[in-house]
Structure 1
Amino acid sequence: MRRALAVHDLNVVFDLLQRSGIGQRQIARMTGLYQSEVYEVIRKGRRIQAWDVLVRIADGLAIPRGYMGLAFDDPLSHSLDQAAAACTADATEREEVKQLLSHAANVTMGTDDDTVATWWQPLDAETAPAPDRIGRTDIDRITSLTSAMRTLDYQFGGGACRDAVAAQVRWSQQLLNSRGTETIKRLLRSALADMHNLAAWTSFDLGLYRSARKHFKRAHTIAHKVGDHSLAANVLYRAGRLHLHRGGEDADPTMHHIALKFFQLGQLEAQNAGCPLTVAMLCANEAWAYALLDERAQMQRSLGRAQDEFTRSTPDNVQAWIRFFGVADLNATIGVALTAQPSPTPTDMQAGIDHLTRAISMRGPEMTRSQCFESTALGCAYLRIGATELGQQAGRQAVTTASTVRSVRTIHRLKPLRDLALQHPTDAELAELAQSINTLQEAT
């Protein structure tokens, strides 16, 4: 049955159901097909290829969509993700968040139920045959592809590579069924987890939060099971960033608390990995969450630890997924945290502006999206202290940069800048800045 489902051979599927006592009329009633259509499938070998019909059949027969390669990256799922991206944090999304966070906690703490072991199953239809046996060359090919697409993501946004990453994930999952040494299979799972991690991150960048959570869940499960705690920590950091962003979209402190929990779970994984740089990254982002929750003392403690751990780290000896977190990112995160507080002190604001300015000066063209985020935060900081001309200049740079990357997230992050600009209705340049942000938002 599983083999027939995987290749959409409904002739075999319906025949097996009949052997189990389920007649053609009942199959038709369960699947929403006409009885004549069921007859044609069974007796004449009719093939059903329409995606929506296959989904209806899977759901009607209570078959997990993943068995038919329908569980992910399909047109309907894409449409639903786009709709969800424009919504507030409703009850349905909150349930998704709860499930992902609960799963992350169970995996991290080693209390997950592994009796079903579904993490290796393909999320979508297979597209090409996999080699019978794999070796180190196959692993190097996957890691090289992931590295190349991660570079595209940093410079041009998730929209530049998200579909390519998702397609590569689907194909690479087949390699789990290939023969190879235990060492090769462990390396394959780590490489696959990192690719899921990137697929989640690029989905997040496009506002496809449902897809992102699915990939984050898969990435964390695989990374933890193979003992790759550094990668598992990175996955949790990125899941935290997703929910930090969602809290900012809807001014929802609940999401900030969720993000904080992901960062704290990530620290457990990072400590197990013995990677001070990963700990530093998670502590810096933890400080950002505390800042948004207006817990200044906790923010200061987390920033202090982030700086201490960063000093202890040896960036030349870290994994690929953490190498991006250098001096520029540390400065940027500190600057964003200090200036994101609801009631910052003048000292915090000035220090935050200094950190953001320093981070921007270190950015090259390969980190365009990061530069956009930092220019946005800097523009907001200047406007909050009344330096309207400097705020307008930084804001204009942010808008210009945002228009060059395919990232819904950068557009969302411009909203506070627009709101601050609108507080100065008599300033023509700020009014123009607000209008340019509106134009970008309308285009997404």
Structure 2
Amino acid sequence: MAEKQPNEKLTSWFGRSGWSKGELARQVNRRARQIGAHHVSTDTSRVRRWLDGEQPREPIPKIMSQLFSERFGSVVSIEDLGLRTAVPVSTVESGVDLPWSAPQTVQLISEYSRSDLMLNRRGFLGTSLALTAGAALIEPMQRWLAPNQGGTPTPILAAASGGEQFSGRLSEPELQLLEQTTVMFRQWDAQNGGGLRRKAVVGQLHEVTDLLQESYPEQTTKRLFRLTAELAHLAGWMSYDVGMHPSAQKYYVLALHAAKEAGDRPFGAQILTDMSRQMIHLNRGEDALELIHLAQYGSRDSASPRQQSLLFAMEARAYSTIGEVNRCARAARLAEDTFSDCGRGDNDPDWLKFFSLAELNAENAHSFRDLAYHTTRSPLYASMSAPVMERAVDLFREDPDHIRSYAFNLIGMSSVHLLQNEPEQAVVMAKQAVDIATRVRSERLNTRIRKTSAAATRNFKDVAEVGQLADLVVQDIPEFVPTG
């Protein structure tokens, strides 16, 4: 096991605060009681261990961020204190290594969606879940590639293929309506963020798994599995958007199982793509790269040009996270070249239509921006990112159906301005993103705004506009309180 390294960031903030270890411990305990976290009871020895590199559990990182922000009069984020985002990660015991069989997939999705609805109705969020990473995640996901054992139909499909007795009474118009409802949910998410309709999606998912308890002709059963996969994926995406990372991963994995039962390789690749996106968000670039390569391999004979372009773009994002300059540039170039093969008459499914020219520019711009963070040649990659990010902003400005994506690229443009030592321009873009963030429900967006504002304050604290932005963020972007 690697030896803990002293937390130099926390030590620096602590030294400037003027607090003693005992005073910080008392303030943490007092704030914890105020928010109902009565299990928190810290002392001077615990504070010493934090300074030595131990990572405190939630809600202590959030409490410390609030305390130091109040002490210094500006945003001091969890990352600024050297405290990683508080998502428990398991790399040994996997909570995602599930049986690849139709009946068990239906049962697991039904049980998890019901549990999600019940827990959130009572105000609990399943915080005992841990995010799975490393080999414990990648190895089970590789089984997506394997055919069903012996090439025979799974039990549900075998029962449905007899052609004699079907217990299900779902009509074709009803099935079409369910599919249209999923499209509507996807539109709501793009326009309003994941927090607004997450519970409705989970409820619909649970209802569809009830339908899968009955028997239908094989094609109907496969359509129901495809619908289940899309709803579970959407529940995962919305959970990710509101900051519920372990729940998001659980839904993604269940969605991948359902997509396998539907025989839908392209959609399985899309699920893995968003699992990769989540790992990039959590700064686990190697895991992100493994997932996107698995998606590329699994869909190599079935992905359309639009999906191939998306996969290359996300590969570039993963490479940028680990500072692989040449491979990132190559993947970004392939994304552009492949996108040029998309035609207006492409018959892409609804779940893929979001990947537009605006999205392509956004992904590549963020790849170049992230290279600026992870390499020593920051000015070069910031200058490469700027015009591409600007194109993304311009394209999304004209797209009212993807307002959240517009805000993400506004705050992305703001971060590029900071890299180019242009704090005033950064504030202009960030304020526009804050305005949108107050109208959508996306903790992902809120986190990006807080992080960018904190970076501005850290590097340009004497610029008046930066102080105004910090005040605006504290006022208009509330602290993260997950909801169902």
TM-score by length of 2: 0.68
- Would the alpha carbon gap of residues 443 and 239 (structure 1) be closer, same or farther in structure 2, given more than 3 Å must change? closer
Report the Cα distance in structure 1 between the residues aligned to 2:110 and 2:299, rounded to whole angstroms.
36
Question: 1: distance between equivalents of 2:340 and 2:414?
Answer: 29
1:301 — aligned with what?
A: 330
> In the alignment, what sits opposite 2:318?
289
Deviations 1:231-276 (A, max 9, x none): 11111111111111122xxxxxxx1211111111111233131322
Range that drifts further, 374-383 or 223-232: 223-232
2:431 aligns with: 396
Structure 1 distance, partners of 2:336, 2:461, is 40
Q: Tell me, yes or no, if structure 1 residue 267 matches structure 2 residue 296.
A: yes
Contact 1:151/1:366, CA 8 A, preserved across alignment? yes
Task: Label 1:358 to 1:73 Cα distance change in 2 as closer, same or farther (>3 A).
Answer: same
Alignment partner of 1:153 out of 167, 189, 203: 189
Instruction: Tell me whether 1:366 sits opposite 2:401 in the alignment.
Output: yes
**Paired residue for 1:335, among 328, 342, 365?**
365
Which amino acid in the other structure matches residue 93 of structure 1? A
Give 1:300 shift: 0.6
Alignment of 1:4-403 (within 5 A): 69=111, 72-76=115-119, 81=125, 83=127, 93=130, 95=132, 98-110=135-147, 132-247=168-283, 255-314=284-343, 316-341=346-371, 342=373, 343=375, 344=377, 346-363=379-396, 364-403=399-438
Task: Provide the residue aligned with 1:11 in structure 2.
Answer: none
Alignment CA distance shift 1:68-1:311 (3 Å): closer
Is the CA contact (8 Å cut-off) linking 2:190 and 2:403 kept in structure 1?
Answer: yes
| Percent of residue pairs bearing the same amino acid type | 25
Higher relative contact order, structure no. (Cα contacts within 8 Å, ≥ 6 residues apart) = 2
Structure 2 CA distance for partners of 1:275 and 1:161, relative to 1, 3 Å = same
Counterparts of 2:421 and 2:391, CA distance in 1: 21
Structure 1 position 370, deviation (Å): 0.5
Question: For residue 442 of structure 2, what is the amino acid of its counterpart?
Answer: S
| Contact persistence 2:117–2:203 (CA under 8 A) | no
Deviation at 1:442, TM superposition (A): 2.3
Letter in 2 for 1:296: V
Which residue pairs with 1:408 in the alignment?
443
**CA 1:217–1:306 in structure 2 vs 1: closer, same or farther (change >3 Å)?**
same
Show structure 2 runs of 5+ residues with no match. Answer: 1-106, 158-166
Letter of the 2:328 partner, please give it: M
Pick closer, same or farther for the CA change 1:381–1:66 going to 2, 3 Å.
closer
User: Aligned to 2:282, what secondary structure does the other structure show?
Assistant: helix
Instruction: Say if 1:167 and 1:434 are closer, same or farther in 2 by CA, change over 3 A.
Output: same
The 8 Å contact of residues 196 and 216 in structure 1, kept in 2 or not, is answered as yes
Q: Which secondary structure state, in structure 1, belongs to the residue aligned with residue 300 of structure 2?
A: helix
Structure 1 match to 2:473: 437
Using a 3 Å threshold, how does the CA distance of structure 1 residues 345 and 403 change in structure 2: closer, same or farther? same
Aligned counterparts of 2:240 and 2:383: Cα–Cα separation in 1: 31
Give the Cα–Cα distance (whole angstroms) in 2 for the partners of residues 114 and 101 of structure 1: 24
- Extract unaligned runs of 5+ from structure 1: 1-64, 85-91, 121-130, 248-254
SS at match of 1:314: coil
Q: CA deviation at 1:197?
A: 0.9
| Contact 2:110-2:206 within 8 A present in 1 as well | no
TM-fit CA distance, 1:347: 4.2
Shift of 1:135: 3.5
Measured after TM superposition, the shift of residue 66 of structure 1 is 5.7
- TM-score by length of structure 1 reads 0.73
Please say if residues 417 and 423 of structure 2, whose CA atoms lie closer than 8 Å, have aligned partners that are also in contact.
yes
> Do 1:134 and 1:178's aligned partners in 2 also have CA atoms closer than 8 Å?
no
1:176–1:438 distance in 2 versus 1, CA, 3 Å? same
Q: CA RMSD in A?
A: 3.0
Which structure's residues are more often helix, by fraction?
A: 1
Contact 1:328–1:359 at 8 Å: present in 2 too? yes
Amino acid of the structure 1 residue aligned with 2:351 = W
Distance 1:329 1:359 in 2: 7
Aligned equivalents of 2:434, 2:335: Cα separation in 1: 30
CA contact (8 A) 1:384 1:420 kept: no
> Structure 1 residue 99: deviation in Å?
4.0
Task: Report the alpha carbon displacement of residue 182 of structure 1 after superposing the two structures with TM.
Answer: 1.5
Distance 1:325 1:239 in 2: 16
Give the drift of 1:185. 1.5
Instruction: Tell whether the 8 Å contact from 2:233 to 2:251 is kept in structure 1 after alignment.
Output: yes
Please say if residues 380 and 416 of structure 1, whose CA atoms lie closer than 8 Å, have aligned partners that are also in contact.
no
The alignment partner of 1:272 has SS state of coil
Instruction: Please tell me whether the aligned partners of residues 81 and 207 of structure 1 are also in contact (alpha carbons under 8 angstroms).
Output: no
The answer (yes or no) to whether the contact 1:135–1:184 under 8 Å persists in 2 is no
Conserved in 1, the CA contact under 8 Å of 2:410 and 2:432? yes
| Offset of residue 377 of structure 1 | 0.8
SS at match of 1:317: coil
The answer to whether the 8 Å contact 2:315/2:328 transfers is yes
Which secondary structure state, in structure 2, belongs to the residue aligned with residue 232 of structure 1? helix
The 1:239/1:443 distance shift into structure 2, 3 A limit, reads closer
